[in-house]
């Protein structure tokens, strides 16, 4: 039976489609603009729009499973209108289209950002409430609101499961992602300064494997946190330097100072036509809870995230092979443990 993937040309989608094809499952990829990540794959490609319910119904017709990945990611505090349109109302449209076309199961990709991080002394698990306050970044609130839309669909009889990954890194990052850009900047010695703080990083391939296991094994309405390992930005820079031979910057700013400089960094990035990596939102994320529990996924899905260094090596290799950068010295493989 056909599996439909919304947002198939994104980072997670590119890996998910390949994993499903490897399992000999027929796939249909819903794309809006870009298709580079799907070039040469044995998959059906259809055009659609999260804001166009009819296009979703056409894409879902005859589908057994829908993986809903399509979303707008933002590191800005001023993007609520577009985030609401795509992430919230778009998810509502996906849920309605699944119900209208008789899709057997929906696998919805949410985010760790949808969950309240406090108290910081207690690990985050599936019982954490969704964020609501306007003090939270618009992206966080949009992903929380999207989960509510899925829950409403479940109340109407939709069989759906929810996945909450942490910060995703890994190969097939074609656009690239925000962290992919940061990683490339580190590998090319173009990141002028580091900041204190860190995040829980997870390999995109592990997220995909966990999502497929959830599709196959989870009970209706189940929710799983798919986390990896908390690593600081300073430690990531040191690993990249060790792997590539490119020295890391010695400048490390405390988060409070980075917050002061963030508006200037954003202004300079806009002038250069680039996405700013250091914003108030991204810096806030680097102060989030260090303890994200994936115990439920381990227990019920057999989930097991690989070592972070292995992910970092594989990602840098992929960026090199894809032509994103040229290393000045041989990339060291070493022990990925």
pLDDT in tens, 184-239: 999 998 888 899 999 999 999 999 999 999 999 999 999 999 999 999 999 999 99
Rounded to 5°, angle at Cα 96 from 95 and 97 = 90
* pLDDT higher than threshold 60 for residue 337: no
Average pLDDT over residues 84-101: 98
Could you read off the pLDDT of 22-34 as tens digits, one per residue?
999 999 999 988 8
Could you read off the pLDDT of 42-77 as tens digits, one per residue?
999 999 999 999 999 999 999 999 999 999 999 889
- pLDDT band of residue 149 (cuts 50, 70, 90) is very high
- Residue 135, phi then psi, degrees to nearest 5: -70, -20
CATH class of the domain at 2-173+200-228+290-301: alpha beta
Rounded to 5°, angle at Cα 46 from 43 and 50 = 125
pTM: predicted TM-score of the whole model, two decimal places: 0.93
Task: List the structure tokens of 105.
Answer: 């199961």
pLDDT at 330: 47
First to last CA, the chain: 38
pLDDT at 269: 56
pLDDT at 190: 86
Boundaries of every domain in the chain? 2-173+200-228+290-301
Q: Long-range contacts made by residues 120-128, C-beta under 8 angstroms, separation at least 24?
A: 120/289, 120/290, 122/291, 123/289, 123/291, 123/292, 123/293, 124/225, 124/289, 124/291, 124/292, 124/293, 125/225, 125/293, 125/295, 125/296, 126/164, 126/223, 126/224, 126/225, 126/296
pLDDT at 276: 67
| Contact present, 315 and 170 (Cβ < 8 Å) | yes
pLDDT at 112: 98
Q: Among 3, 179, 157, 174, which Cα is nearest to 95's?
A: 157
* pLDDT higher than threshold 50 for residue 126: yes
pLDDT at 219: 98
Distances (CA, A) of 275 to 197, 235, 265: 21, 23, 10
Looking at 84-88, 201-205, 260-264, 321-325, which range is the least confident one?
260-264
Give the single-character DSSP code of 38. Answer: G
């Amino acid at each position: 039976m056909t599996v439909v993937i919304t947002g198939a040309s994104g980072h997670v989608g590119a890996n998910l489609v390949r994993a499903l094809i490897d399992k000999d499952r027929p796939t249909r990829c819903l794309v809006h603009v870009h298709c580079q990540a799907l070039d040469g794959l044995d998959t059906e490609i259809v055009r659609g729009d999260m804001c166009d319910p009819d296009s979703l119904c056409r894409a879902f017709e005859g589908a057994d499973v829908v993986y809903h990945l399509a979303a707008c990611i933002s590191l800005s505090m001023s993007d609520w209108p577009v985030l609401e349109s795509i992430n919230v109302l778009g998810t509502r449209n996906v849920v309605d289209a699944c119900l209208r076309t008789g899709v057997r199961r929906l696998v919805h990709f949410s985010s760790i950002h949808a969950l309240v991080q406090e108290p910081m002394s207690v690990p985050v698990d599936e019982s954490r409430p969704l964020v609501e306050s306007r003090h939270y970044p618009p992206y966080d609130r949009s992903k929380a609101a999207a989960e509510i839309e899925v829950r409403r669909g479940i109340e109407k009889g939709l069989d759906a499961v929810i996945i909450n990954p942490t910060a995703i890194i890994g190969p097939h990052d074609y656009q690239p992602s925000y962290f992919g850009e940061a990683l490339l900047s580190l590998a090319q010695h173009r990141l002028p300064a580091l900041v204190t703080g860190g995040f829980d990083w997870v390999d995109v391939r592990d997220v995909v494997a966990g999502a497929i296991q959830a599709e196959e094994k989870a009970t209706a309405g189940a929710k799983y946190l798919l986390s990896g390992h908390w690593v600081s930005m300073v430690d990531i820079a040191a690993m990249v330097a060790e792997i590539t031979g490119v020295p890391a910057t010695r400048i490390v700013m405390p988060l409070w100072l980075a917050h002061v400089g963030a508006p200037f960094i954003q202004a300079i990035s806009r002038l250069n036509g680039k996405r700013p990596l250091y914003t108030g939102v991204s810096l806030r994320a680097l102060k989030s809870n260090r303890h994200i529990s994936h115990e439920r996924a381990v227990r019920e899905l057999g989930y097991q995230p690989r070592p972070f260094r292995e992910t970092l090596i594989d990602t840098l290799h992929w960026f090199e092979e894809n032509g994103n950068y040229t290393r000045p010295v041989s990339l060291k493989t070493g022990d990925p443990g």
